[in-house]
Chain A
Amino acid sequence: MLVTLSATARPDTPFADARDLGHLLHKHPDRAQRFELSVGVAHVFYPEATAERTTVALLLEVDPVGIVRDQRFGASGDVSLARFVNDRPYAASSLLAVALGRVFSTAAAGRSASLPEVAAHAIALRIHLPSLSCRGGAERAVAMFTPLGWRVDAAPVPLDSEIPAWGDSRYVDLTLEGEITLGTALRQLTVLLPVLDGAKHYWVGEDEIDKVLRHGEGWLTEHPLREEILRGSLAHQRRYVEDATARLLDTAAVAAPEASDAPPAPDVPVTPSLAAQRAEAVLDALRSVRAASVADLGCGEGALLRHLRSDRSFTRVLGTDVSVRALEKAADRLRLRDASDTERERLTLLQSSLTYRDDRLQGFDAAVLMEVIEHVDPDRLPALEDTVFAHARPGAVVVTTPNAEYNATYPHLHERADGAPVRHTDHRFEWTRAELASWADGVAARNGYTVTVREVGPGDPELGSPTQLALFVKEAAA
């Protein structure tokens, strides 16, 4: 990876001889120098060095084999091929940012023993990053650097020049031009390269706040994208970001409001979200059948379990999901590890699959399939029916699923692999009201249940409500 810095001299200013760049950087213009760094080997050399214009190049060689063996690059855990073949040896990223900070540390700090007045002077700089990893494309690079006074030329790099249909890659050939002190320019790069790349190669701890604030001195406070820069620099750790913001604005550390990542939308009337309405409808249905023991099948990260837990009329609650990771998250969110033995007996989590019979699901007053069936392939629904209605046979089953008719009111829908519009890319189908009714009637008839269907959420006279709910109640044994 490469960065070049060109400085153009201006007569009648302290920076009248561009070769002074070498003094500022403490690197002799006529020698190529080599620095062994933790991130690789940095080479510094000068492609041009005249009194009018001097250009320094920093070329960082990253060891492509060593990088994958290094813990810092995720050598444990991640076993995808992505770890082994990656852009790190080529694209400007936090590796280059670290190299800049190390090799040009004195200049970045704005100090110079021999030419202090030049170091403090804004000089005509041109910075070239031919391959900058930039999530969000060229516009984001422009938005980041323009407010700092740079004239920005960000040319997207095509993904493959031989395959034009692929369009642009996420790399940008970036040129910055402006009048700025060398130290500020270097510090801006140090902060902004990892932000644009969207990753840091090292663990971001609390000391990173100091580092960012130090590098951001004099330019970060006023930056319109300050929040975004802080979030990106501090690995999206909210507490760090709040702390850093407070210190930047030189205010006492104010307790930030909850959910600061969701800006308040004042013109939206305060109505419960659809998710909340849906959960409430499910709870109503459970209460209507006087269910005391409830199995939440496909509980995910525990959205409904939270509600079930807080209502003591549910004396036994089981959450199942096929994803172990989801269950772990649910256990975290519900703080099950800290729960009392009684509570852990009342609320349990199990890995289970809706397409395999599972004896452990038997004996419940009710089971809930909240926004679950649409994640099951249609050809597996008979297996789900067998598992839930024929084998587990709870006293009641509550099923909710999107109403496809209502999708007409949504401006933005996802596209399923076959192109059909759906609310979530993993939805294998979304049913109209008639389709749900037809399935539900069949299930009920085949398994000895009666079923009633109702709508959940704000209704449209033509299209119905966004969510539909079917309540199955087992018929008394003959």
Chain B
Amino acid sequence: MALSSLKLRMGRTLLTLLTVAACCAFLLFLLTAPISDDPAERQMWGLMITLSLLVSVAGVLNTMLMSVTQRYREIGTIKCLGALDSFVMLSVMLESALLGLTGAVFGIIGGLVLSTLVGLLEAGAGVFAAAYWTGLWWKVIVAALVGLGLTTLGAAFPAAVAARMPPVEAMRGEK
């Protein structure tokens, strides 16, 4: 159900996917970028990562919130047909997790490509040396977890609200 819903809601799905992918790509790019030993520059870099993450978090949460609230009427209908609150919650969370994971994969690929291109400009052929990519795996895992976490977290609140709503209110699309 979650997969077919994602496929058929292609427009909205792509928008959410793009937001998550952009967030993951940017995070991975920042994490893999070479940082100088200058404390002032390191501090500036840290601040930039934090601010970028906050903007990405707000973007993804907003997209997920919009995505779920726009479906209140449909959620109300399936509750009316006998869906349990737990089913509503589970199907929305599963759909969000699938979306988050897919977005994270695209984001990681995008982030790696971006980092390689910037690395080529800054370090030339040195970007292909293993030393350039120290700790890449944990950075990829962090980016993937952030993408997955943000989408499920963003969907959890509106999904819980919709799941607990009386069907008639959900069908009216009220909060």
Q: A and B from one assembly?
A: no
